[in-house]
Amino acid sequence: EVQLVESGGGLVQPGGSLRLSCAASGFTFSSYSMSWVRQAPGKGLEWVSAISDSGLTPYYADSVKGRFTISRDNSENTVFLQLKSLRPEDTAIYYCAKGWGSRGYYYYFMDVWGKGTTVAVSS
Amino acid sequence: DIQMTQSPSSLSASVGDRVTITCRASQGISSYLAWYQQKPGKVPKLLIYAASTLQSGVPSRFSGSGSGTDFTLTISSLQPEDVAAYYCQNYYSAPYSFGLGTKLEVK
């Protein structure tokens, strides 16, 4: 069964840091891009960041560029999101999601999602 | 950056109705568009990709169309279980932005 399990969320003060992890299982992790998507309370989905299958190419939303860093460890089937200089507006559920791929074609939309981990930024 | 604009932001319809949600990209994205469904309290679910390809397991009452800048998601006969928020996503180029969503309710 394909599964994504996020961890690392919590309550942090403005200006603080957190490291989110997403453990993947049930598929060949190193063959797919991975993304992070967040959802603030009562709001819509916001794409945050993605990383290529090799880990060489990261992408970021303008709202987090320079503050968040995505990385992956293909030997551990895990993708990370390092959050720094956190702001109250970063408060959200953070979802990890697997990029779609089939027959040699790979794209940055998501076909499997984790249940999410909650980040709350407040003093 | 490409902006995705969805309309309407909310919609109420009756069971059996045909429902259409539109999504417009600020620049051409060919057919690199996906649609997601998020039921209340649940994780988002992929419905359609490549603008019109139904993801495996998605009921055939869902369909998508469009290319370039204008796209539609259609539910041919609304069912009670279709109560959800629906989002489009550009995957033509980063940042891979979502639309703001359409909240669908059943009368």
Which pLDDT does position A105 carry in this prediction? 83
Task: List chain B residues with CB under 8 Å of A35.
Answer: 96
A71 in helix, strand or coil? strand
Q: Is A110 exposed, middle or buried (0-12, 13-18, 19+ CB in 10 A)?
A: buried
Which pLDDT does position A102 carry in this prediction? 80
Which pLDDT does position A101 carry in this prediction? 86
Residue B81 sits at φ, ψ, to 5 deg, of -75, 0
Q: Does B96 sit within 8 Å of A35, measured CB to CB?
A: yes
C-alpha closest to that of A37 among A121, A99, A120, A106: A99
B38 in helix, strand or coil? strand
* Cβ count within 10 A of residue A123: 8
**B26-41 residue pLDDT tens:** 999 999 999 999 999 9
Chain A residues with a Cβ under 8 Å from any Cβ in chain B: 35, 37, 44-47, 50, 59-62, 95, 97, 100, 107-111, 113-116
**A40-96 residue pLDDT tens:** 999 999 999 999 999 999 999 999 999 999 999 999 999 999 999 999 999 999 999
Distance to chain B for A3, nearest Cα, Å? 13
Q: Does A44 sit within 8 Å of B101, measured CB to CB?
A: yes
C-alpha closest to that of A6 among A62, A81, A76, A74: A81
Please give the angle made by the CA atoms of B49, B50 and B55, to the nearest 5 degrees.
30
Nearest by CB to A100, from B49, B97, B99: name it: B49
